[in-house]
Amino acid sequence: MIQSDAMNSPKGVSPLIASVLLIAFTMAIAAILTAWISSFTTSQKEKTQVFEEKINCNYGFIENDVDFTAYNGTDPVNNGIFKTRVKNTGTIDLSIGKYQVWYNNIAVPTIWTITNPTNYSIKKQDARIITLNVSGPDVITKIKLMGYICDGVTTTVTQPLAGWGALSTYSPSDVIAATKS
């Protein structure tokens, strides 16, 4: 009987090649796990920051000075300017990010988004005069100011029974830039 060379060759993989393959496989698994753990921890860190901001928002409160509130619905340029003093009575700094405006005989409010809300921050225990464009189809009956990051921090001003106070003067440069949403 004649034996072939295939029968004389060693069977299986040499120990050196097996070791190299095992190390390569281990390194590939380690690289995949490292990438996954890195992205997982980054996403968890972002979620933690969001929750931390929301928890901090529990310490934010704003009030409106009704005695200082004034409205001019006959402004020839903007057709409606609302001016008020807002006081941050909370323990964190806040910014106004949006405001909702209700007009006479219209049930659905118009939402305005402030263009650069970080420019209009109110330090804790401080007050700020804000001037808003509230131009719309009719006279306003109510306005709701909402926080920027802390959107649950709000103050609502309803038209007094005696009517809005008259807005005597304001500078157009004081009007906060906002767009209707």
Say if residue 81 is in the same domain as residue 170.
Answer: yes
Say if residue 79 is in the same domain as residue 117.
Answer: yes
Q: Is residue 147 part of a domain?
A: yes
Judge whether 97 and 113 are in contact, CB under 8 Å. yes
Does the pLDDT value for residue 1 go beyond 60? no
Q: Is residue 90 part of a domain?
A: yes
Say if residue 24 is in the same domain as residue 42.
Answer: yes
Say if residue 73 is in the same domain as residue 99.
Answer: yes
Res. 5 pLDDT band, cuts 50 70 90: low
What percent of the chain shows pLDDT beyond 70?
91
Position 118 scores a pLDDT of 87
Q: Which domain holds residue 52?
A: 13-57
The CA–CA distances, whole Å, from 146 to 1, 56, 96, 122 equal 95, 16, 6, 13
Rounded to an integer, the average pLDDT of 147-154 is 89
Half-sphere exposure at residue 126, Cβ-oriented, CA atoms within 13 angstroms: 12
Position 138 scores a pLDDT of 85
Q: Is residue 81 part of a domain?
A: yes
Judge whether 157 and 69 are in contact, CB under 8 Å. yes
Q: What is the tens place of the pLDDT at every residue in 64-95?
A: 988 888 888 766 555 689 999 999 999 999 99
Say if residue 24 is in the same domain as residue 104.
Answer: no
Res. 173 pLDDT band, cuts 50 70 90: confident
pTM (two decimals): 0.70
E-assigned strand segments in the chain: 62-64, 70-72, 81-88, 94-103, 110-114, 121-122, 127-133, 140-147, 154-158, 165-166, 175-176, 178-180
Position 6 scores a pLDDT of 53
CATH number at residue 81: 2.60.40
Taking the C-alpha atoms of residue 174 and residue 154, their distance in angstroms, rounded to an integer, is: 22
Say if residue 81 is in the same domain as residue 121.
Answer: yes
Say if residue 129 is in the same domain as residue 75.
Answer: yes
**Residue 145, class by beta-carbon neighbours within 10 Å (0-12 exposed, 13-18 middle, 19+ buried)?**
buried
Q: Is residue 5 part of a domain?
A: no
Taking the C-alpha atoms of residue 128 and residue 131, their distance in angstroms, rounded to an integer, is: 10
Q: Is residue 129 part of a domain?
A: yes
Domain count, the chain: 2
State the chain's mean pLDDT as an integer: 86
Q: What is the tens place of the pLDDT at every residue in 6-59?
A: 555 667 778 888 899 999 999 999 999 999 999 999 889 888 888 888 888 888
